[in-house]
Amino acid sequence: MKKIIVPVDFSLYSENALRTAALIAKKQESELIVVHMLELSNAVLSQSESYSQEQFIFYLKLAEKKFKDFLDKPYLDEISVTTVVKHYKIFTELKEIANEYEADLIVMGSHGVSGLKELFVGSNTEKVVRSSDVPVLVVKGLPILEDFKNAVFACDFSKEDIIPYQKAKALLKVLNCNLELLYINTPNDSFKSTQEQKELFSGFLEGAEGDTDLLSKINSVSDYSVEKGILEFTKTNKTDLIIMATHGKRGLAHFVDGSISEDVANHATLPVLTIKI
């Protein structure tokens, strides 16, 4: 893992993300790309060219001063840090920045369990998750100060989940973190018998691993909803990290429908890593 992007607004939540990213960067000798959006309004940008330039310089100097104080942290010692300032507050631009710098991961801060509309300056976390081609780690509340030990990849075991699973496995190998697979069996049309589950899991593992050696280690939980099943599993199984596949415009994950995955992201107290299908 060579480069990690951390979008910041100089709040406590973005500092928690920065501190988490610093932990990973030190372990992997990665460079941190710290990004701030200037938030110039359309009203300002519609003024004369000289006035707009004056405003831009003012906000740029202000951002540089804030960066100097914000990045003056002991936990950033011996870490290579590059700062990037953008004109607009359009967080889908992070996709372009990630491509430009060939980033391996984006780490973003979150207000916790308040819901996607309260995640890191509005709904920008959701926008980044849906548009990013690189994995996005959403830090919920406090920074992560210890290595991840146990992560769970929750999915519906479709063929589309194979590549995100392989990416998650490769990333967690770098982080020296154990990865478990989780399936939630729900009632009604989504219900699958034991035999149907076995066939589903076997097909997934054949595609993802080339064999079915991990078949007996797949966790299958029965619950009334996917969200409840995932959250309950993570509470009782010493899970440090929830991993989900994202389907771009269709929502954070490819489960029964997008709203379920958004509910999981809203209510989970654990950090959530999303990987685009």
Q: What DSSP element (H or E) covers 24?
A: helix 12-28
Domain boundary among 140, 162, 186: 140
Domain check: are 91 and 20 in the same one?
Answer: yes
Half-sphere exposure of 90 (CA within 13 A, CB side): 11
Evaluate whether residue 258 is within a structural domain.
Answer: yes
Domain boundary among 140, 169, 199: 140
pLDDT at residue 239, rounded to an integer: 95
Domain check: are 156 and 236 in the same one?
Answer: yes
Evaluate whether residue 204 is within a structural domain.
Answer: yes
Domain check: are 89 and 210 in the same one?
Answer: no
Dihedral angle of Cα 19, 20, 25, 27, to the nearest 10 degrees: 120
Picking from 1, 25, 5, 145, the residue whose alpha carbon sits closest to that of residue 76 is 25
Domain check: are 103 and 156 in the same one?
Answer: no
How many domains would you assign to the chain?
2
Domain boundary among 140, 161, 179: 140
For residue 4, the cross-strand partners are 32, 105
CB 109 within 8 A of CB 14: yes
> Strands, DSSP E only, in the chain?
3-7, 31-37, 81-86, 105-110, 136-140, 150-154, 178-185, 219-222, 241-246, 272-276
**DSSP for 124-149?**
HHHHHHHH-SS-EEEEESSPP-S---
Q: In what order do the strands lie in the sheet with 31-37?
A: 81-86, 31-37, 3-7, 105-110, 136-140, 272-276, 241-246, 150-154, 178-185, 219-222
Domain check: are 255 and 213 in the same one?
Answer: yes
Residues contacting residue 45 through CB under 8 Å, at least 6 positions apart: 52, 87
Evaluate whether residue 145 is within a structural domain.
Answer: no
Evaluate whether residue 222 is within a structural domain.
Answer: yes
- CATH code for position 55: 3.40.50.620
Local confidence pLDDT in tens for the 277 residues of the chain: 899 999 988 888 889 999 999 999 998 999 999 998 776 444 444 455 554 566 667 667 777 888 888 999 999 999 999 998 876 656 667 888 999 999 999 998 876 544 444 434 445 666 777 778 899 998 887 889 899 999 999 999 999 999 999 999 999 998 899 999 999 999 987 899 999 999 999 999 999 999 999 999 999 999 998 888 999 999 999 899 999 887 765 444 434 444 555 566 667 889 989 888 8
Tokens in use for 22?
Answer: 């610093």
Domain with 71 in it: 3-140
Domain check: are 196 and 136 in the same one?
Answer: no
pLDDT at residue 16, rounded to an integer: 92
Domain check: are 20 and 134 in the same one?
Answer: yes
Domain check: are 106 and 156 in the same one?
Answer: no
